[in-house]
C-alpha cells in the first residue's frame, strides 16, 4: 500500500448511511416538540390547572437517564457482533422498524387521557431508539478513513437535518394548540397524524438502508483506505489496540467530553422547552416549528458550505466558530427579552422575528459543532472499539440531557421570570463549554485527497 494513494469520500454511500440519522433526528424533533405539550395538558387536567414545568422536566430527563447506560452497552455489543448482515445493521434495522410501530401509540395514549400510558409509550420509544442509535452513528466511522470523517459527518448531518425540517414543518402545519377547542375538549388527531407520518418516513429510511447497504462488503472494500487513514490520525501518538493512549490524548478526551456535556446542557434546554416558550411567551407553539425549520435549514447550508473547513482551518477552530455563533444567538434572545420589559410580568406578546434571526446563528454554530466534535473523539478509536467510544460520547451528551431538563425546569418553576430564563440558562452553560473547549490541543496532519461533488463545495 502506497502512502501516496489519494483518499476520497464516497458521497453516495455516506448519504445513504445518513438515512438512519434522518430517522433519529426526525423522531427526536417530533418527540421533543410535542411530548412536553402533551404532558403539560395531561398534568393540568390531573392537577387542576397547576403549572408544573419541573415535573415535565423530570419526566423528559428520566427517559434520557436510560440512554446513559444503554448507548454504551449497545455500542460495545455491536463492536463484538459478527453476522452475515454486519455488526451494526442488525441493530439498525430491528430498532428502526420497532420504533416506527410503537411511536404513534404516544398520541393514542394522550387521546384517551391516560397520563401513565403516555409516559410508558414514551419510555418504550426511548428503549427502542437506544438499541440502534449508537450502531447507526458508529457505522460511518467504520467505513470512513479518519481524515475524511468530518466531511462524512457533515453529509450525514445534512441528511439528518432534512428529517428535522420535516418535523418542524409538521409542527407548523399541525400545531398542538389546534387540538383544543373553546370548550377545552381535546381533538388530538393532528398530533396523531404527525406521529404516523414520522413512522412512515422511518419505514422508508430503513428500506433504503436494507437494499443499498451491504455492511460486510463495504468493510472489505474500504480496508486499505482505513489503514491509510490511521497514518494521518490527529493524535499525539499512533493508535494501537494493544497500546494505552498517550497522556496528551487522554487529556484531550477529557476536555472534549466535558465540553460535550456543557454544550448539550445548553442546547437540550432549548430543545425541551422551546415549544412551551413559544406558546407561553411568543403566543403560539407553531412558532417553535418555524424556529426549528430556520435552525435546521441554516444547519444544512452550513454542513454543505463548510465541508472543506476542517481540512483548511482544523476541527478545533470550526468548533470554536460554532460555539461563538451559538452564544451570540442565545445572548441575542436573552437581551431581546430584557429590552422588551425585563424578566418580570409580561405586558405584551413579543414579536417573533428577532428570535428567527438569532435561530439562524444557532443553526450555523450547532452544525459546525456537530460535524466536527464526534470525529475529534473518533481519532483515538481503533476499528475494534468505535462503538465503545461512540458510547462515551453519548454517555456525556445524554447525562447532560438527563440533568438539564430537571435543573432548568426547577429554575423556571420557582422563579417569577419563569420561561423567560430559558435562554439565560442556555447562554451561561454554552459559555462554560466554550471556556473548557479552548483548552483542547489539536495536532493536525495534512493529507492529500481528491475533491469532487459535495466535497468540492467551499
pLDDT tens, position by position, 98-122: 999 999 999 999 988 899 999 999 9
What cell was used for 113? 387521557
In the chain, which residues have pLDDT < 50? 1-4, 181-184, 186, 449-458
Q: What's the confidence (pLDDT) of residue 458?
A: 40
Q: What is the DSSP letter of 454?
A: G
Q: pTM value?
A: 0.84
Q: What's the confidence (pLDDT) of residue 3?
A: 47
Angle between helices 353-378 and 386-413 (to 10 degrees): 150
Q: What's the confidence (pLDDT) of residue 49?
A: 64
Residue 252 vs residues 188, 234, 262, 376: alpha-carbon distances, Å: 48, 11, 16, 9
All domains of the chain in start order, with CATH: 11-445 (1.20.1250.20)
Q: What's the confidence (pLDDT) of residue 345?
A: 54
Q: What's the confidence (pLDDT) of residue 21?
A: 93
Q: What's the confidence (pLDDT) of residue 287?
A: 82
Q: What's the confidence (pLDDT) of residue 433?
A: 98
221 touches 56 (CB < 8 A): no
d(CA 138, CA 312): 25
Classify residue 238 as exposed, middle or buried by CB count within 10 Å of its CB (0-12, 13-18, 19+): exposed
| Residue 180: strand pairing partners | 186
Q: What is the dihedral of CA 188, 194, 196, 199, to 10 degrees?
A: -150
Beta strands in 4-158 (DSSP E): none
What is the residue-wise DSSP string for 410-449? HHHHTSTTGGGGHHHHHHHHHHHHHHHHTT---------B
Q: 50: alpha, beta or left, given left = phi > 0 and alpha = psi -120 to 50? A: beta
pLDDT in tens, 122-157: 999 989 999 999 999 999 999 999 999 999 999 999
d(CA 14, CA 2): 25
Phi, psi (5° rounding) for residue 186? Answer: -90, 135
Amino acid at each position: 500500500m502506497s502512502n501516496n494513494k489519494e483518499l476520497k469520500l464516497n458521497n453516495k454511500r455516506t448519504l445513504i448511511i445518513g438515512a438512519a440519522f434522518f430517522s433519529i433526528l426526525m423522531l427526536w424533533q417530533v418527540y421533543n416538540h410535542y411530548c412536553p405539550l402533551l404532558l403539560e395538558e395531561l398534568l393540568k387536567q390531573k392537577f387542576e390547572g397547576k403549572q408544573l414545568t419541573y415535573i415535565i422536566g423530570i419526566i423528559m430527563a428520566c427517559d434520557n437517564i436510560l440512554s446513559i447506560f444503554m448507548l454504551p452497552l449497545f455500542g460495545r455489543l455491536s463492536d463484538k457482533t459478527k453476522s452475515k448482515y454486519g455488526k451494526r445493521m442488525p441493530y439498525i434495522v430491528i430498532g428502526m422498524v420497532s420504533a416506527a410501530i410503537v411511536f404513534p401509540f404516544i398520541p393514542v395514549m394522550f387521546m384517551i387521557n391516560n397520563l401513565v400510558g403516555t409516559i410508558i409509550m414514551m419510555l418504550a420509544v426511548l428503549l427502542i431508539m437506544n438499541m440502534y442509535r449508537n450502531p447507526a452513528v458508529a457505522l460511518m466511522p467504520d467505513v470512513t478513513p479518519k481524515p475524511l470523517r468530518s466531511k462524512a459527518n457533515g453529509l450525514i448531518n445534512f441528511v439528518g437535518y432534512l428529517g428535522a425540517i420535516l418535523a418542524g414543518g409538521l409542527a407548523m402545519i399541525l400545531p398542538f394548540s389546534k387540538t383544543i377547542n373553546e370548550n377545552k375538549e381535546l381533538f388530538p388527531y393532528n398530533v396523531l397524524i404527525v406521529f404516523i407520518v414520522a413512522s412512515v418516513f422511518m419505514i422508508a429510511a430503513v428500506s433504503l438502508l436494507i437494499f443499498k447497504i451491504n455492511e460486510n462488503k463495504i468493510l472489505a472494500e474500504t480496508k486499505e483506505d482505513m489503514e491509510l487513514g490511521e497514518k494521518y490520525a490527529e493524535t499525539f501518538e499512533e493508535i494501537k489496540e494493544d497500546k494505552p493512549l498517550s497522556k496528551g490524548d487522554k487529556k484531550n478526551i477529557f476536555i472534549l467530553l466535558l465540553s460535550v456535556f456543557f454544550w448539550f446542557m445548553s442546547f437540550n434546554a432549548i430543545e425541551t422547552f422551546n415549544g412551551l416558550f413559544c406558546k407561553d411567551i411568543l403566543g403560539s407553539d407553531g412558532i417553535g416549528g418555524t424556529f426549528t425549520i430556520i435552525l435546521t435549514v441554516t444547519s444544512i447550508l452550513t454542513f454543505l458550505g463548510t465541508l472543506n473547513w476542517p481540512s483548511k482551518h482544523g476541527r478545533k477552530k470550526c468548533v470554536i466558530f460554532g460555539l461563538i455563533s451559538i452564544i451570540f444567538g442565545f445572548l441575542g434572545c436573552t437581551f431581546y427579552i430584557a429590552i422588551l420589559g425585563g424578566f418580570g410580568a409580561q405586558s405584551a406578546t413579543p414579536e417573533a422575528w428577532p428570535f428567527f434571526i438569532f435561530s439562524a446563528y444557532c443553526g450555523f454554530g450547532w452544525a459546525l459543532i456537530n460535524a466536527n466534535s464526534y470525529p475529534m473523539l473518533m481519532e483515538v478509536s481503533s476499528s475494534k472499539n468505535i462503538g465503545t467510544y461512540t458510547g462515551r460520547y453519548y454517555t456525556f451528551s445524554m447525562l447532560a440531557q438527563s440533568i438539564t431538563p430537571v435543573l432548568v425546569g426547577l429554575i423556571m418553576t420557582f422563579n417569577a421570570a419563569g420561561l423567560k430564563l430559558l435562554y439565560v440558562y442556555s447562554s451561561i452553560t454554552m459559555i462554560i463549554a466554550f471556556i473548557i473547549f479552548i483548552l483542547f490541543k489539536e495536532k493536525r496532519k495534512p493529507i492529500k485527497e481528491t475533491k469532487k461533488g459535495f466535497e468540492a463545495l467551499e
